Amino acid sequence: MLHMAASTSTVDQNTGKTASTTSTRSNTVVQQDVLDELDWDPRIPMSSIGVTVKDGVVTLFGQVESYSQRHAAEQAAFRVLGVHAVANELTVRLPSLAERTDSDLAAAAMQALVWDAQIPTEALDLTVSRGWVTLKGTVPWGYQRTEAEHVIQRLAGVRGISNQILVRPPVEPKDIASAISRAFARQAQFDAHNITIEAHGSTITLVGKVRSYSEKEAAGLAAWSTPGVTAVENLLKVGV
């Protein structure tokens, strides 16, 4: 079953006519590439992870020993050419030495947030239940919301994260779509020609097509960096 195709033109040496050929990547090829990428990443225990692929959608299943390994496996899958989406069904099964009480984990998580200079912890609330960390509160910038989650991901004993932090910028939205368009034009990480920016107040919706998940992620981060943005709905599709 094929999930991605790119058409190219070649010239027949005998007839001199241009012929159309199509290069494709099958589910099997993408699956092997994901397996190789997982095996290449030293953070990931490859022996405990299974991979299936259908029409560019990768499903990861099995067990890992930390939430950071679970996240690393998801990011590794997204790095593979032809992957459009990832269903992360990996479960976190902590080794006995990594087990922590909820109170210990909550204290460690809050301390980690305090030590990160990018995060305004005075406006955040943190709760832990059976190793699952829930973040609430408000921050002025989208990158601070993301950074708070990244800090928690790296802690031993974390089984999952629910990031409910809201972004409330200190400035009023003004010409947000134009500002994002200019930011996109400056970016070398992605091609903005096929991206449409829709602004509804302080909420941004990105629609269109990009060549890879990394481009989709870069476009979303660029939109989040614009003053006045409180939410970004990234509907960009990955394809050729």
Mean pLDDT of the chain: 86
Q: Other C-beta atoms within 10 Å of 154: how many?
A: 12
* pLDDT of the residue at 240: 58
Cβ proximity of 230 and 169 under 8 Å: yes
The whole-number pLDDT of residue 24 equals: 57
pLDDT bin (cut points 50, 70, 90) of residue 138 is very high
Return the domain boundaries, the chain. 2-92, 96-167, 176-238
Q: Give percent helix, percent strand, percent coil of the chain, each to the nearest 5.
A: 35, 35, 30
Let me know: does 183 contact 222? Beta carbons within 8 Å: yes
pLDDT average, residue stretch 177-203: 87
Pairing of strands 166-167, 132-139: parallel
Query: In the chain, what percentage of residues exceed pLDDT 90?
Result: 60
CATH 3.30.1340 fits 176-238, yes or no: yes
The whole-number pLDDT of residue 201 equals 86
Hey, what are 155's tokens?
């802690």
Q: Are 2-92 and 96-167 in the same CATH fold?
A: no
130-138: average pLDDT: 96
The CATH label, of 3.30.1340, 3.30.70, 3.90.1200, 3.40.640, for the domain at 96-167 is 3.30.1340
The region, left, alpha or beta by phi > 0 then psi within -120 to 50, assigned to residue 7 is beta
Query: Tell me: the pLDDT tens digits for 62-82?
Result: 999 999 999 999 999 999 988
Least confident range from 11-20, 25-34, 118-127, 156-165: namely 11-20
Is the pTM higher than 0.85? The answer reads no
- Give the pLDDT score at 140: 92
Q: CA 138 to CA 124: how far, in whole Å?
A: 6
Instruction: Enter the DSSP assignment of 80.
Output: S
pLDDT (tens digit per residue) in 23-73: 357 999 999 999 999 999 999 987 789 999 999 899 999 999 999 999 999
Does residue 10 surpass a pLDDT of 80? Answer: no
Domain 2-92 has CATH 3.30.300: yes
Residue 226 scores a pLDDT above 70: yes
pLDDT band at 20 (very low <50, low <70, confident <90, very high): very low
For residue range 89-118, list pLDDT tens digits in order. 999 999 888 889 999 999 999 999 999 999
